[in-house]
Chains A and B, each alone.
Chain A
Amino acid sequence: MELGTTLALDVRGLCKTFTQGQWWQKRFQHRVLDNLSLKLRTHTTVAIVGKSGCGKTTLAMCLVGLERPDAGEILLYGESIQFTQRRRPTTAQQDIQLIFQESGGALNPRMSAIQIIEEPLLLGGHYARKERRDLAESMMQRVGISLHSKHRLPHEFSGGQRQRLAIARALVLKPRILILDEIFAGLDLSIQGQIANLLLQLQECEGLSYICISHNLALVSQIAHEIALMEQGKIVRQMSSGLVADYLLHSSGGEHKSGLQPEAGALGAYSGA
């Protein structure tokens, strides 16, 4: 597929510091995002790879507005997302959607599948009840869940189906950017493949851009066009996924030893495959 040329998302100099400790304790600052910059072109998948604790999830939280960055700018199709209010503007909320790791926990156990999918449509209040139901039903079919199970509760679905539900919920608002936070974790290989295919297919039809967060380089390089290596709150390198193997081989033992050592094994598997 042809990659887009315009920037869907342009993150410039994002910083986020968490302060730990109460006021009577000795405080220390934990700099999670340190002047992070990232570019995402339209119709493209960028994989963010880094070892745990390097700030991948915090980045995702900042992008969807669950955390407020201390400094920096996020441009969505050239327009800056303002963080001045407590809530993000509705358009940004619609355009960037996040799919969580462990989607089983991310679905309200008291709501049926169809309720879960149609809930985001309440945002802005543009849709009538009937419309919401119809949109949600068509979205369920899109992601491959049969309508028979629309009144089932999340715990009655399998892990892969729950992931599909989460995808449907994210897609129902017609976002342009989807952030996938470790969505393959805990799924077996064939299900991982199915979900990956579904995502590729959706990208093709809807023209979505993905930010795929993972620590499994081997899996992620199958679906990503670009790989961004993240280390201590920074994107240290963003490159085409074809080049990543070479890069890592040459730099292992070098400057990025501390950050990417765990990926060396995964990389071996990848380059062998």
Chain B
Amino acid sequence: MKFLVRRFLHSVFLLMGVSLLSFSLLQLTPGSFFDEMQLNPQISRATVSRLRAEYGMDRPMLQRYVCWLESAARGDWGLSFAYNAPVAPLIWARARNTLLLTGLALPLAWIIALPIGVLSAGERYRWIDRGGNLVASVLLVTPELLLALGLLWLALRTRWFPAGGMASVVPIKHGAAAHIKDLVQHLFAPVTVLVLGSLPVLLRHIRSAMVDALQTPYIKAARSHGIPYLRILFRHALLAASSPLLSLAGLSLASLLSVSLLVEVIMNWPGLGPLLLEAILARDVYVVVGAVMLSGLFLVCATAVSDVLLFIADPRIRTEDLA
């Protein structure tokens, strides 16, 4: 319990740090949302400076930060200049789609990587290991951008699945089943890119953690006592390898999120990615900070969850804490 409380406080401090850092970094970037307006001859200089004052951009940074904190506490997370609306609902509508994407890709990548990684560690230097290695290496050197473009090209050529977007433009039949089918078809390309992109790193890590685990004396002992091979691999070795892998699971969400922003932009998926890109280009400060904060929140939650799992998975940590 003490462990959990400590974890929680730690996370809160971390998020504060992230917000402060992203705030000051955005402060350092040249230009602001209103600079482009000044170029427009139809908008008078007075209007621009009035707008600037209205949004509080003329005040010093710290003061704005405190204001933003207040609005974050209210649940608004600041005001978007471009949309002239609170940031929170704006981001939330997009974040749901991003979450759908990563929430699907993450377990899928693990489900694929786990058995292959475990088996290639068990069958080291045999064909399954070499094959897995080859695939992992090829995927590792292929940038996600190329993968995404390749899939789009495939989609255009074959029309097996839609190229980008989240829903068909042409009205489809009514009914939940038809909608879900449409959604799944649109999910296929981005999820595939995300899974293929995160697969090599997972594979390599699972394999090396398992190879380490398989060399421990108690695995050898289990083998000599004639305990079935698959049980040794999955019951003994995988549990022994679980500590580094659980930490990796938290981290893999982070990398997946950042890749997913890119993929969303390319595949025109209405997630956080396009919103963040627009906001950065337009210097829509609060939207950027909000999106960064949300990704930070995901990451912190994921690592917290993986830490708790770690705590549960290893009886040694558990007993030490109780003692």
Contact = CB atoms under 8 A, between A and B. Distances in A.
Interface of A: 61, 64-66, 87-88, 90, 93-94, 97-98, 100, 102, 105-110, 119-120, 122-123, 153, 155-156, 166, 169-170, 173
B197 to A, nearest CB: 31
Contacts of B240: 108, 110
Of B216, B223, B226, B239, most buried by chain A (CB within 10 Å of CB) is B226
A107 B314 CA distance: 15
29 contacts: A64-B224, A65-B224, A66-B223, A87-B229, A88-B226, A93-B225, A93-B226, A98-B225, A100-B224, A105-B216, A105-B217, A106-B220, A107-B221, A108-B218, A108-B236, A109-B218, A109-B316, A110-B239, A110-B240, A122-B228, A122-B231, A123-B225, A123-B226, A123-B228, A153-B315, A153-B319, A155-B316, A170-B225, A173-B226
Interface of B: 216-218, 220-229, 231, 236, 239-240, 314-316, 319
Contacts of B319: 153, 156
A122 B227 contact: yes
Contacts of A93: 225-226
B227 A108 contact: no
Given A100-B220, A106-B217, A106-B218, A120 B225 contact: yes
A271 to B, nearest CB: 35
A65 B216 CA distance: 17
Contacts of B315: 109-110, 153
A156 B316 CA distance: 10
Contact of A120 (B216, B226, B229): B226
A88 B225 CA distance: 11
Contacts of A100: 217, 220-221, 224
B209 to A, nearest CB: 15
B221 A120 contact: no
Given A105-B216, A108-B236, A110-B315, A98 B222 contact: no
Nearest to A124: B226
Contacts of B220: 66, 100, 106
B225 A119 contact: yes
A88 B229 CA distance: 12
Contacts of A122: 227-228, 231
A109 B213 CA distance: 12
Nearest to A170: B225
A100 B216 CA distance: 12
